[in-house]
Chain A
Amino acid sequence: MSFLSLAFALFLFLGLLMFHLAPGRFRRHVLLALSYAFYVSASATHALLLLAVTVSVFLAARAVERSRTEDTKLGVTAVAVAGLGVVLVGFKCAAWLVETVQAQSAKGGADATLLLVAPLGLSYYLFKLMGYLLDVYWEKVPVEHNFVSFALYAAFFPQIVSGPIQRAGDFLPQLEALGRPDPADLTAGLRRILFGLFKKLVIADRLTVLVAGVHADPSAYSSLELLLGAYCFALQLYADFAGITDIALGLGQLFGMKGPENFQMPFFARNVQDFWRRWHITLSSWLSDYLFAPLRISLRRLGNIGLSMAIFINMVAIGVWHGASWTYVAFGAINGVFMVVSALTLKKRNTFFRTHPLLTRLREVAGPLLTFHLMVFAFIFFRASSVPLALEYVRHLIPGQPGKGVAPFRLDWEQLGLGRSALLGVLVGVAMMEALTWAGRKSDWRDRFLAAPRILRWGLYYAVIVIVVVLGNLETQRFIYAQF
């Protein structure tokens, strides 16, 4: 059941009704029932897996709590985390295997009979549960004794499709205080959902045809068209993922649950490190806490080499989290190299710019531009269906490739599947998205907007709704990050 389907709209309406009509003490039960109903609509079998994993982690955390010795605590935690890791890797590899077999089958080989497709939101809920176990082990969070609350943490339907990966220490206390949601949360949630729909339907989806075309056959496009395609994919991915995150956060707010932000205007990042503090924040901070920090500590004695190794492994892990594919490994490794270079040269760069203050302004402009282009380059590997195809894309980006029958600076809008005016509209949409994101984070701007006459606010909402409905693709069901 996609967040963009009519069925989900009905489900949400009925769910909200049930939630608000239920007595306060049963509201978490209602939310849990809704979450499992949502999950069962995707796959009843996978819902059983979710339940089994949840019960296992719930019991493991209780066992950690009861352990009398440090060794037992460590042993139970290690076994449980490893078990979750096996489930994650097993399903991701199986999904890769199924795709490979199906690809072979499409070429006339054996029929794909495996049905081990990755369960909905597997990467998200397993990371939540792994984080919870480690936090319990490190005594950062108390063990949750209420199974309903804990199961809801794992299965909370707004977050299970594409995150954000909320920490237990942030989620569970909100359940304890779960009363009727603040009315302001309801309207804020709806605003957030509308903003998410705008990002997804008006920006991301309008770039789909162009991006799919250039990535399907890079040799058929000019260097300029491929460059445009690479820019467009970066924007599409951002709008798509930020869109579903907004929808998830908005849905949570409708039920009185606040979630963590996942983006902070990442394409304005000053350097690659800054980018990863602004992009998919909940994943990068999760890996930073549970993988990078322990690695950094254990490799400290190796100095910069140890730091570089920790950074590189962490970035490859970010890549591989998306799936068992060499393109994701390449994406992670490329970012690893960027991050290592950035981290090792940061001090020297800062010193240089301190001694050359006239160049500081240039750095403020050039830094985000360079970072954006580095990420655009890395995203080519993220989007490509194989590493050779990504390399072919990069090769054709360079003008004047021998044997290529396309003029390097051709811009054939028809072939791209997106008109010049449509692209301009998308860019205006991106500018609006970033301006609204910026304004939304400034409390004085937000307060001023909320204090504005209703006719003005409603007028703006109506305008956005009309833009979404008229320009958006109402058939859309899929989000890019829902596959992970």
Chain B
Amino acid sequence: MRSSDSARGDDSVARVALRLVVFCVPLALAWLGLEWGMKRVPNSYSMKRAGLEALSAEVDTVIVGSSNAYFGISPALLSGSAFNLANVSQSLYYDDLLLTQLAPRLPKLKRVLVPISYISLSFQLYDSVEYWRQYYYQHVWGMRPPREEDRTNVRMWSLVALYSPRLSLNAARKGFKASLAPEVDGRGWYPVPAEHFPADLSDEAARVPLARHHGMMHAKNEPANVASLEHLLSLLRQRNVEVVLVTLPVWRSYADGMKPEVWARTQATLERLTQKYGARYLSFLREPRLEAEDFHDPDHLNARGAVRFTQMLNVVLESSGQVAVPPRGDGAVSHSSPDAR
């Protein structure tokens, strides 16, 4: 009696399970359709990947780093064939992963610019409000987030979840013909229009990004970031690629609000690493030739500023003559911009 009840129960549960599967089929198909469609919608990460792959045979200079390099260095204005791989909140962890993956695929690579900002050594992407960006590296480059707990996030596997279903449905309405980063040029640069000109560069305005940055800066992140930087330096030296560490310009209101002890610690680390690996360090932190009209906000250049700065940078980069890789074990080959203060 009991077993027949149980068997009947089995049948019923099985039927319910089957109905559930049937119920889910349209939902799954709709979701898969959106996933397929969203794969066709370019974003800054996929555009950079496609752009770099198209130019991989000729690229000799790669720029990594975060938003200040993404907006602030126009590769077209650098000598040779350069490509900007920087992106918003890109941490040294991802700079290292990107270069580890890409260096072998760029036969002409001779120089890498690694921007070091105020927050570089104490910032981790997963620790910030921009943490969701780490899933783009998974989708576009196959790079897993560093923390185990982030690897079970639905955004790891689903572009629809990453972009949000609402944005995905909007894209579907346009036949997935939209681009999420139409401003990015063929060499990965994002020229920020100077339409908000003149930008608010007051001390009050600088407090906002400074507060945000101080909230994301944690001393506990420094060992991992230094390790990423060392790995990157060591790897590129083995490949005879010159590494230039660069600090991009910020407006004085931002520079004045930086904590001196933190910046001094960064400088000391850079001094040590440039000596150890024979890299160059160029600091344009307080670049006097740039004016208020060159800034989008206190810590980012606009398109005009990026053009002017890249030209200055190119002069300094080329002033040492041919791009030369210091011999291994060489002493300090650390330079500062003549105008840096």
Give Cα A348–Cα B40 distance, bound, in whole angstroms.
71
Q: A7-B152, A458-B23 are in contact. Are A181 and B13 (CB under 8 A)?
A: yes
| A6 contacts B153, C-beta separation under 8 Å | yes
In the complex, what residues of A have CB within 8 A of residue B23's CB? 458, 461
Q: Whole-angstrom distance from the CB of A10 to the nearest CB of chain B?
A: 8
| B166 contacts A470, C-beta separation under 8 Å | yes
Give Cα A143–Cα B13 distance, bound, in whole angstroms.
33
| A474 contacts B9, C-beta separation under 8 Å | no
| A186 contacts B27, C-beta separation under 8 Å | no
- Residues 436-484 of A contacting B (Cβ, < 8 Å): 458, 461-462, 465, 469-471, 474-475
Give Cα A475–Cα B165 distance, bound, in whole angstroms.
12
| A186 contacts B6, C-beta separation under 8 Å | no
| A180 contacts B13, C-beta separation under 8 Å | yes
In the complex, what residues of A have CB within 8 A of residue B20's CB? 190
Chain A residue nearest to B27 in the complex (CB): A465
Contact of B16 among A5, A183, A458, A475 (CB under 8 A): A183
B53, CB-defined interface residue at 8 Å: no
In the complex, what residues of A have CB within 8 A of residue B12's CB? 183
In the complex, what residues of A have CB within 8 A of residue B26's CB? 462
| B161 contacts A180, C-beta separation under 8 Å | no
In the complex, what residues of A have CB within 8 A of residue B153's CB? 6
Give Cα A461–Cα B26 distance, bound, in whole angstroms.
12
Chain B residue nearest to A458 in the complex (CB): B23
A349, CB-defined interface residue at 8 Å: no
Q: Whole-angstrom distance from the CB of A175 to the nearest CB of chain B?
A: 17
Chain B residue nearest to A474 in the complex (CB): B161
A354, CB-defined interface residue at 8 Å: no
Chain B residue nearest to A23 in the complex (CB): B6
Give Cα A469–Cα B161 distance, bound, in whole angstroms.
9
A179, CB-defined interface residue at 8 Å: yes
| A20 contacts B13, C-beta separation under 8 Å | yes
How does the 8 Å CB contact mask read for A160-180 relative to B, with 1 for contact and 0 for none?
000000000000000000011
B164, CB-defined interface residue at 8 Å: yes
Q: Whole-angstrom distance from the CB of B170 to the nearest CB of chain A?
A: 10
| A6 contacts B166, C-beta separation under 8 Å | no
In the complex, what residues of A have CB within 8 A of residue B57's CB? none
| B16 contacts A471, C-beta separation under 8 Å | no
| B154 contacts A474, C-beta separation under 8 Å | yes
Q: Whole-angstrom distance from the CB of B328 to the nearest CB of chain A?
A: 42
Q: A469-B165, A470-B166, A471-B166 are in contact. Are A186 and B16 (CB under 8 A)?
A: yes
Give Cα A465–Cα B31 distance, bound, in whole angstroms.
12
At the interface, is chain B mostly helix, strand, loop or mixed?
Answer: helix
How does the 8 Å CB contact mask read for B132-176 relative to A, with 1 for contact and 0 for none?
100000000000000000001110000001001110010000000
In the complex, what residues of B have CB within 8 A of residue A471's CB? 166
Chain A residue nearest to B149 in the complex (CB): A7
Q: Whole-angstrom distance from the CB of A209 to the nearest CB of chain B?
A: 14
Q: A462-B27, A465-B27, A474-B154 are in contact. Are A183 and B15 (CB under 8 A)?
A: yes
B10, CB-defined interface residue at 8 Å: yes
A187, CB-defined interface residue at 8 Å: yes
A388, CB-defined interface residue at 8 Å: no
In the complex, what residues of B have CB within 8 A of residue A180's CB? 6, 9-10, 13
Give Cα A186–Cα B152 distance, bound, in whole angstroms.
26
| B165 contacts A179, C-beta separation under 8 Å | no
A294, CB-defined interface residue at 8 Å: no
A24, CB-defined interface residue at 8 Å: yes
- Residues 47-77 of B contacting A (Cβ, < 8 Å): none
| A5 contacts B152, C-beta separation under 8 Å | yes
- Residues 171-212 of A contacting B (Cβ, < 8 Å): 179-181, 183, 186-187, 190
How does the 8 Å CB contact mask read for B1-24 relative to A, with 1 for contact and 0 for none?
000011001101101100010010
| B154 contacts A6, C-beta separation under 8 Å | yes
In the complex, what residues of B have CB within 8 A of residue A183's CB? 9, 12-13, 15-16
In the complex, what residues of A have CB within 8 A of residue B15's CB? 183
Give Cα A214–Cα B165 distance, bound, in whole angstroms.
29
Q: Whole-angstrom distance from the CB of B272 to the nearest CB of chain A?
A: 27
Q: Whole-angstrom distance from the CB of B150 to the nearest CB of chain A?
A: 11
Q: A6-B152, A461-B23 are in contact. Are A179 and B13 (CB under 8 A)?
A: no
Chain A residue nearest to B20 in the complex (CB): A190
In the complex, what residues of A have CB within 8 A of residue B13's CB? 20, 180-181, 183, 186
Give Cα A186–Cα B6 distance, bound, in whole angstroms.
16
Q: Whole-angstrom distance from the CB of A445 to the nearest CB of chain B?
A: 22
In the complex, what residues of B have CB within 8 A of residue A458's CB? 23
Q: Whole-angstrom distance from the CB of A459 to the nearest CB of chain B?
A: 11
Give Cα A105–Cα B13 distance, bound, in whole angstroms.
55
In the complex, what residues of B have CB within 8 A of residue A7's CB? 152
| B164 contacts A179, C-beta separation under 8 Å | no
Contact of B165 among A181, A190, A462, A470 (CB under 8 A): A470
Chain B residue nearest to A8 in the complex (CB): B152
- Residues 118-134 of A contacting B (Cβ, < 8 Å): none
| B6 contacts A24, C-beta separation under 8 Å | yes
Give Cα A462–Cα B165 distance, bound, in whole angstroms.
15
How does the 8 Å CB contact mask read for B233-249 relative to A, with 1 for contact and 0 for none?
00000000000000000
Give Cα A135–Cα B24 distance, bound, in whole angstroms.
45
Give Cα A471–Cα B9 distance, bound, in whole angstroms.
37
Give Cα A305–Cα B95 distance, bound, in whole angstroms.
71
Q: Whole-angstrom distance from the CB of A187 to the nearest CB of chain B?
A: 6
Give Cα A20–Cα B13 distance, bound, in whole angstroms.
9
Give Cα A461–Cα B166 distance, bound, in whole angstroms.
18
How does the 8 Å CB contact mask read for A262-283 relative to B, with 1 for contact and 0 for none?
0000000000000000000000
- Residues 1-45 of A contacting B (Cβ, < 8 Å): 5-7, 20, 24
In the complex, what residues of B have CB within 8 A of residue A461's CB? 23
In the complex, what residues of A have CB within 8 A of residue B27's CB? 462, 465
Give Cα A183–Cα B16 distance, bound, in whole angstroms.
6
Q: A183-B12, A186-B13 are in contact. Are A474 and B165 (CB under 8 A)?
A: yes
Q: Whole-angstrom distance from the CB of A438 to the nearest CB of chain B?
A: 26
Give Cα A6–Cα B153 distance, bound, in whole angstroms.
6
| B6 contacts A470, C-beta separation under 8 Å | no
Give Cα A180–Cα B164 distance, bound, in whole angstroms.
38
Give Cα A458–Cα B25 distance, bound, in whole angstroms.
12
Q: A5-B152, A461-B23, A465-B27 are in contact. Are A470 and B9 (CB under 8 A)?
A: no
| B6 contacts A187, C-beta separation under 8 Å | no
In the complex, what residues of B have CB within 8 A of residue A24's CB? 6
In the complex, what residues of A have CB within 8 A of residue B154's CB? 5-6, 474
In the complex, what residues of B have CB within 8 A of residue A190's CB? 20
Nearest 8 Cβ contacts at the A-B interface: A180-B9, A183-B12, A183-B16, A6-B154, A7-B152, A469-B165, A186-B16, A470-B165
Pairs A–B under 8 Å by Cβ, sample size 26 = A5-B152, A6-B153, A6-B154, A7-B152, A20-B13, A24-B6, A179-B6, A180-B9, A180-B10, A181-B13, A183-B13, A183-B15, A183-B16, A187-B16, A190-B20, A462-B27, A465-B27, A469-B165, A470-B165, A470-B166, A470-B169, A471-B166, A474-B154, A474-B161, A474-B165, A475-B132
Give chain A's interface residues, CB within 8 Å of chain B.
5-7, 20, 24, 179-181, 183, 186-187, 190, 458, 461-462, 465, 469-471, 474-475
Give chain B's interface residues, CB within 8 Å of chain A.
5-6, 9-10, 12-13, 15-16, 20, 23, 26-27, 132, 152-154, 161, 164-166, 169
A24-B6, A183-B13, A462-B27 given. 7 additional CB < 8 A pairs?
A6-B152, A180-B9, A181-B13, A183-B15, A187-B16, A465-B27, A474-B161
